[in-house]
């Protein structure tokens, strides 16, 4: 264990101001996949009420014997005090009795004294067929006079002997064979994605609709929020998908935007804005490879990441999801992230399908055009086609070059100035860009997944979205799969009808489904549909946290360092203050634990304060600087923002985030200016202690112009995630400051829109600014930064060849160095 984490021998003094750590609040939880009924005493039964259940789905190879597990449980967990007899019989399914299986009936018995949870097995023998067949089902019915009975079981004789199941065939041939066997309803099922929480209570919907995908939104977790709990839950859904006749597996998706943020104990990286400050494509690729490994180990083969937007207005609440304001930076690092997620083989247990989002220009919307009470998010991009091609599209070109598997349209609209303003078109309806630019002009052969109920914003708006018009418009624009978390059944019904009515062509449906099936074959889901838990023990491991810690250190940008205030001396008496010094939630930001994130102990990790305490012997902590500063050599003030995500993070946007973690309390007003309490702490500490260091923990620049004169050293720490020790590494000189600003740092909150290359460009700190200090440094590091400076020089134009060359070189190195 490293010195940063081993604090047992350190002496320290801390003023907590009475503040106690907060417990992690409850988040959305899963409903058990087994369908049961409420247990009540059965007529004539003695002793504890008993409930009998069976394995919901039992998969069996053609010709083998299926073994159905029947379980008895008591209401109080005690042993049975009376016998329980359960009668069973095979029912009528799609398999033919005697020809496909041996029909049967019988009784299983549980004797008095049997412990709750006792199991019995029913054997159902199948008969081997002479030719290939689709999957067939055999229901097993249960009844009992001695106990309540839950749902029976469904034995599924696996599909076999069909070309699409032959892994030796090229993927395109497998897709063509499978597509030719599908009904319209089955095809539309593949285009439908539902949310976990809305399927868990009725898992039969997976089978009945033939759903192609399920997602977990922010904060949507199984009741058992552990790697095993996730894998078990997803496997349960997968069993339901495999109970369909063609046995097309689900593809499960989640927003692993800076780590598997929904999973307790996962390794959380700096958000993209911090990774942008590293300017290190190989580090980004390695970090996302780690995230892919942790995500895939829980049974999830698909992430809705990376966000490759170019953030042009820092008032946007999703600025931290961007790698920066320059398209070349977003191009290089976006391509590296895709390479890290996907690796060289999607069927590896360390790979996940990546999603380039949000297509396109979501970071280039005009302030004041936001959707609803958002001020900028989901707003309107009011630019020319040439501007969008020069500024917003290059990251997608780079992502396509490294084979990104899926693309997600933005909630926002585009209003071409070429055509005269006043005709905004929602991106989910934008055929010119989705079908035209993306698929036809640039040959994208992956699939397009809508954002969360994204098509519901296509006008005219309605109370019963998704309307037929919204569905038809978006499908014909080129969207292939639809994230319909709640109204998935309505979507399915209306799209089937639209095709039957001729509003959507069969060819368009076949194109969409072929793209989705191709991804599933390439991910190896037909061969291995269930969770590969091989690497579950690496989740949150020291090795993975070391990768994140290195990323944190590389993301720190030293903006000012008067009198060589940094690096700190571990022998100094250090006074730490500020609300973001000892708060994992604040330093992790949104998309951690819940959608909007929350302050406090959101997950496991090391706070910035804990990183400092692990190095220095004499540390005092006072959150509001109310403790005496006498005797302190250095003051370290950690200020900045509290968590937020899309929409609710907009400057001037809504304070109510409607997040379960909030407990009905509004969040603080979002601003580019520091909160008054942060200013007070800076002024007090910097006035009373000779050397004053300020760290800004935030998802975007915070205006510090008025305080800059009091500050000796200023650091942009961004949202570092769970490994706060990485911040201490650069503060104490264990690592050298190498971070560069990925966005320009404004002088005033009244004039926040400042981007490199703008006329009259005059920020407080320019794009690419970053001082350094002593520490480990190599010729390789220096050459890398020199090459990146050349690629990102605004005078050389947007996304020049040098940037693309870096991306290509780093992806090649990634494959050689970190791909198993």
- What is the pLDDT confidence band of residue 350, given thresholds at 50, 70 and 90? very high
On the question of pLDDT at 592 being above 70, the answer is yes
In a domain, 221, yes or no: no
Domain boundary among 161, 188, 216: 161
Residue 630 exposure: Cα atoms within 13 Å on the Cβ side:
1
Highest mean pLDDT among 37-51, 312-326, 656-670, 768-782: 312-326
On the question of pLDDT at 803 being above 80, the answer is no
CA-wise closest residue to 124 among 181, 54, 77, 73: 54
On the question of pLDDT at 678 being above 60, the answer is yes
On the question of pLDDT at 578 being above 90, the answer is yes
Domain boundary among 136, 161, 186: 161
On the question of pLDDT at 782 being above 60, the answer is no
Residue 240 has what pLDDT? 98
Residue 659 has what pLDDT? 76
Strands 406-409 and 355-359, how do they pair?
A: parallel
Q: What is the mean pLDDT of the chain?
A: 91
On the question of pLDDT at 84 being above 90, the answer is yes
Tell me, yes or no, if 646 is annotated catalytic: yes
Contacts of 317 by beta carbon, 8 Å cutoff, 6+ apart: 374, 376, 377, 644, 645, 646, 647, 648, 649, 650, 651, 653, 670
* Cα separation, 612 vs 602, whole angstroms: 20
* Cα separation, 355 vs 308, whole angstroms: 9
Residue 665 has what pLDDT? 85
Number of domains in the chain: 2
Phi then psi for residue 549, to 5 deg, are: -60, -40
Contact call for residues 209 and 488 (beta carbons, < 8 A): yes
In a domain, 794, yes or no: no
Domain boundary among 128, 161, 194: 161
Q: Taking residues 29-52, what's their average pLDDT?
A: 45
On the question of pLDDT at 140 being above 80, the answer is yes
* Cα separation, 751 vs 394, whole angstroms: 27
On the question of pLDDT at 284 being above 70, the answer is yes
* Cα separation, 784 vs 792, whole angstroms: 12
Q: Taking residues 15-20, what's their average pLDDT?
A: 34
On the question of pLDDT at 201 being above 50, the answer is yes
* Cα separation, 185 vs 189, whole angstroms: 6
Compute, in degrees rounded to 10, the torsion defined by CA atoms 711, 716, 718, 723: -90
In a domain, 742, yes or no: yes
Phi then psi for residue 619, to 5 deg, are: -130, 130
DSSP H helices in 538-607: 542-555, 584-588
- Reported as a single tens digit per residue, the pLDDT across 473-493 is 999 999 999 999 999 999 999
Q: Taking residues 422-431, what's their average pLDDT?
A: 98
- Reported as a single tens digit per residue, the pLDDT across 300-343 is 999 999 999 999 999 999 999 999 999 999 999 999 999 999 99
Q: CATH code at 561?
A: 3.40.50.1700
- Percent of the chain residues past pLDDT 90, beyond the cut: 86
- What is the pLDDT confidence band of residue 664, given thresholds at 50, 70 and 90? confident
Residue 816 has what pLDDT? 53
Compute the radius of gyration of the chain from its Cα atoms.
Answer: 28
- Reported as a single tens digit per residue, the pLDDT across 8-17 is 333 333 333 3
pTM of this prediction exceeds 0.85: yes
On the question of pLDDT at 806 being above 70, the answer is no
- Reported as a single tens digit per residue, the pLDDT across 230-249 is 999 999 999 999 999 999 99
On the question of pLDDT at 761 being above 60, the answer is yes
**Angle, in degrees to the nearest 10, between helices 468-477 and 506-522:** 70
In a domain, 87, yes or no: yes
Residue 30 has what pLDDT? 28
Tell me, yes or no, if 186 is annotated catalytic: no
CB neighbours of residue 105 within 10 Å: 11
In a domain, 470, yes or no: no
- Reported as a single tens digit per residue, the pLDDT across 389-408 is 999 999 999 999 999 999 99
In a domain, 816, yes or no: no
Strands 425-426 and 413-414, how do they pair?
A: antiparallel
On the question of pLDDT at 42 being above 50, the answer is no
Residue 48 has what pLDDT? 52
Residue 655 has what pLDDT? 86
Question: Catalytic: which of 451, 583, 618, 678?
Answer: 451
- Reported as a single tens digit per residue, the pLDDT across 448-470 is 999 999 999 999 999 999 999 99
- Reported as a single tens digit per residue, the pLDDT across 508-537 is 999 999 999 999 999 999 999 999 999 999
Residue 752 has what pLDDT? 84
On the question of pLDDT at 103 being above 60, the answer is yes
In a domain, 493, yes or no: no
Q: Residues of 602-620 as b/e, b for ≥16 C-beta within 10 angstroms?
A: bbebbbbbbbbbbbbebbb
Contact call for residues 221 and 30 (beta carbons, < 8 A): yes
DSSP 655: S
Contact call for residues 250 and 214 (beta carbons, < 8 A): yes
CA-wise closest residue to 318 among 306, 301, 329: 306
Contacts of 496 by beta carbon, 8 Å cutoff, 6+ apart: 184, 185, 188
Q: CATH code at 78?
A: 2.60.40.2030
* Cα separation, 82 vs 279, whole angstroms: 70
Compute, in degrees rounded to 10, the torsion defined by CA atoms 269, 357, 406, 182: 120
On the question of pLDDT at 57 being above 90, the answer is yes
Residue 50 exposure: Cα atoms within 13 Å on the Cβ side:
33
**Angle, in degrees to the nearest 10, between helices 506-522 and 171-181:** 130
Contacts of 717 by beta carbon, 8 Å cutoff, 6+ apart: 274, 555, 556, 587, 608, 638, 640, 695, 696, 697, 698, 727
In a domain, 670, yes or no: yes
Residue 781 has what pLDDT? 52
- What is the pLDDT confidence band of residue 660, given thresholds at 50, 70 and 90? confident
Tokens 């001396």 found at: 569
Distances (CA, A) of 311 to 276, 332, 363, 410, 806: 11, 15, 4, 14, 21
- Percent of the chain residues past pLDDT 70, beyond the cut: 88
- What is the pLDDT confidence band of residue 444, given thresholds at 50, 70 and 90? very high
Tokens 């007070």 found at: 680
Question: Catalytic: which of 582, 646, 650, 810?
Answer: 646
Contacts of 502 by beta carbon, 8 Å cutoff, 6+ apart: none
On the question of pLDDT at 28 being above 60, the answer is no
State which residues form the domain around 756: 557-776
- What is the pLDDT confidence band of residue 35, given thresholds at 50, 70 and 90? very low
Residue 487 has what pLDDT? 98
On the question of pLDDT at 433 being above 50, the answer is yes
Q: Residues of 718-734 as b/e, b for ≥16 C-beta within 10 angstroms?
A: bbbbbbbbbbbbbbbbb
């Amino acid at each position: 264990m490293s010195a940063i984490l081993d604090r047992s021998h350190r002496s320290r003094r801390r003023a907590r101001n009475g503040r106690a750590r907060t417990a992690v609040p409850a988040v959305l939880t899963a409903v058990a996949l087994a369908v049961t009924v409420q247990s009540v005493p059965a007529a004539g039964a003695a002793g504890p009420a008993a409930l009998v259940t069976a394995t919901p789905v039992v998969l069996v190879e053609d010709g083998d014997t299926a073994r159905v597990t029947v379980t008895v449980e008591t209401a109080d967990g005690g042993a049975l005090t009376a016998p329980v007899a359960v009668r069973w019989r095979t029912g009528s399914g799609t398999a033919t009795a005697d020809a496909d299986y041996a029909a049967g009936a019988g009784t299983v018995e549980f004797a008095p004294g049997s412990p709750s949870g006792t199991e019995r097995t029913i054997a159902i023998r199948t008969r081997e067929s002479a030719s290939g067949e689709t999957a067939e089902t055999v229901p097993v019915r249960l009844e009992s006079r001695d106990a309540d009975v839950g749902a029976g079981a469904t034995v599924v004789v696996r599909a076999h002997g069909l070309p699409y199941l032959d892994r030796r065939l090229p993927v395109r041939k497998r897709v063509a064979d499978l597509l030719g066997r599908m009904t319209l309803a089955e095809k539309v099922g593949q285009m439908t994605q539902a949310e976990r929480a809305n399927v868990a209570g009725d898992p039969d919907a997976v089978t009945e609709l033939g759903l192609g995908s399920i997602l977990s939104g922010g904060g949507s977790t199984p009741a058992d929020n552990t790697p095993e709990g996730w894998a078990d839950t997803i496997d349960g859904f997968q069993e339901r998908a495999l109970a369909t006749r063609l046995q097309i597996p689900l593809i499960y998706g989640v927003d692993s935007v800076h780590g598997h943020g929904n999973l307790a104990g996962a390794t959380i990286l700096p958000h993209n804005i911090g990774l942008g400050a590293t300017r290190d494509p190989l580090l980004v690729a390695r970090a996302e490879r780690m995230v892919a490994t942790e995500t895939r180990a829980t049974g999830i083969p698909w992430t809705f990441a990376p966000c490759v937007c170019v953030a042009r207005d820092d008032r946007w609440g999703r600025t931290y999801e961007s790698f920066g304001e320059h398209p070349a930076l977003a191009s290089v690092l976006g391509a590296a992230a895709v390479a890290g997620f996907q690796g060289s083989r999607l069927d590896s247990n360390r790979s996940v399908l990546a999603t380039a989002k949000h297509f396109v220009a979501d970071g280039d919307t005009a302030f004041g055009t936001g959707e609803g009470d958002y001020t900028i998010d989901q707003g309107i991009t009011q630019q020319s086609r040439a501007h969008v091609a020069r500024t917003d599209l290059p990251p997608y070109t780079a992502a396509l070059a490294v084979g990104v598997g899926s693309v997600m349209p933005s909630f926002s609209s585009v209003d071409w100035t070429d055509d005269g303003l006043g005709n905004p078109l929602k991106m989910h309806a934008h055929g010119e860009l989705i079908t035209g630019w993306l698929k036809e002009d640039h040959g994208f052969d992956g699939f397009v997944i809508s954002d969360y109920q994204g098509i519901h914003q296509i006008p005219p708006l309605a109370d019963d979205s998704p309307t037929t018009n919204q569905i038809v418009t978006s499908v014909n624009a080129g969207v292939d799969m639809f994230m319909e978390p709640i109204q998935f059944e309505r979507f399915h019904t209306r799209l089937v009808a639209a095709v039957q009515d001729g509003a959507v062509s069969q060819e368009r449906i076949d194109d969409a489904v072929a793209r989705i099936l191709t991804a599933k074959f390439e991910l190896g889901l037909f061969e291995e549909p269930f969770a590969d838990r091989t690497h579950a023990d690496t989740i949150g491991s020291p090795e993975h946290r070391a990768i994140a810690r290195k990323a944190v250190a590389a993301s720190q940008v030293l903006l000012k360092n008067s009198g060589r205030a940094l690096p700190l001396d571990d022998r100094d008496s250090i006074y730490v203050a500020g609300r973001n010094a000892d708060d994992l939630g604040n330093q992790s930001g949104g998309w951690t634990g819940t959608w909007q994130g929350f302050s406090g102990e959101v997950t496991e990790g090391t706070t910035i304060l804990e990183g400092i305490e692990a190095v220095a012997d004499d540390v005092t902590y006072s959150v509001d600087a109310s403790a005496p500063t006498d005797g302190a050599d250095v003051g370290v003030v950690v200020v900045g923002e509290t968590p937020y995500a899309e929409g609710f993070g907009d400057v001037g946007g809504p304070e109510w985030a409607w997040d379960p973690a909030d407990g009905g309390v509004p969040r603080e007003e979002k601003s580019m200016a520091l909160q008054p309490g942060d200013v007070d702490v800076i002024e007090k500490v910097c006035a009373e202690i000779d050397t004053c260091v300020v760290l800004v923990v935030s998802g975007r620049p915070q205006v510090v112009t008025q305080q800059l004169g009091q500050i000796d050293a200023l650091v942009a720490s961004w949202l570092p995630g769970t490994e706060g020790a990485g911040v201490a590494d650069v503060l104490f000189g264990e690592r050298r400051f190498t971070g560069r600003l990925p966005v320009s740092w404004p002088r005033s909150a009244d004039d926040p829109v400042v981007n490199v290359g703008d006329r009259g460009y005059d920020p407080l700190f320019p794009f690419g600014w970053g001082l350094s200090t002593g520490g480990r440094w190599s010729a390789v590091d220096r050459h890398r930064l020199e090459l990146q400076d050349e690629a990102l020089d605004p005078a050389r134009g947007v996304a020049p060849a040098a940037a693309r060359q870096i991306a290509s070189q780093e992806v090649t190195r990634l494959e050689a160095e970190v791909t198993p």
